[in-house]
Amino acid sequence: MNNFANNLKYYRELTSRTQREMAELLNMTVNAYQQYEYGKREPRLSVLIEISDILNVSLDELVKKIHS
């Protein structure tokens, strides 16, 4: 799994949100969101910014190797 996928799952769980909640907040299907957490897709920059706002973390925190 890549750094982004690991960090995304870590921060989502830290905020006690489900994958379904994240998908709804991002106006996408659960499957599309899961692709990010499973490392199969990476979001466009605009979506990445939305994710960082929702999770209240910086873009650096989402993409750097911090958590595994």
pTM above 0.85, yes or no: yes
How far apart CA 22 and CA 18 sit, in angstroms, is 6
**pLDDT score, position 67:** 54
Q: 52: Cβ–Cβ under 8 A, 6 or more apart, which residues?
A: 58, 59, 61, 62
Higher pLDDT, 22 or 65: 22
Residue carrying the six token digits 């973390």: 57
How far apart CA 2 and CA 40 sit, in angstroms, is 9
Percent pLDDT > 70 in the chain is 94
Contact yes or no for 55/11 (Cβ under 8 A): yes
